[in-house]
Amino acid sequence: MNHANVLKRAWETLWRYRVLWIFGVIVALTATSGTSGYWGGGGDGGHDYFGHAQGGSR
């Protein structure tokens, strides 16, 4: 595996699809910190998304 060729191709792809940079920036700016939703605290009573109790020893 030639690392130089891989990096060269990645750089060419990066420049070819510059329009995707806009979408990436929008996603990065609008992404939540994860404090609520499936995995976050948000008053879930100490249980994770699947209903398992969090904390304690196993």
Q: What angle do CA 32, 53, 45 make, to 5 degrees?
A: 60
Distances (CA, A) of 16 to 11, 12, 27, 38, 55: 9, 6, 20, 35, 47
State residue 1's pLDDT score.
81
Q: What angle do CA 10, 13, 15 make, to 5 degrees?
A: 115
State residue 46's pLDDT score.
59
User: Tens digits of per-residue pLDDT, 6-54?
Assistant: 999 999 998 999 888 888 888 888 886 555 555 545 555 556 666 666 6
Question: Is it the case that residue 56 has pLDDT exceeding 60?
Answer: no
State residue 5's pLDDT score.
95
The dihedral over CA atoms of 43, 48, 54, 58, expressed in degrees to the nearest 10, equals 170
Handedness of CA 37, 41, 43, 46 (dihedral sign): positive
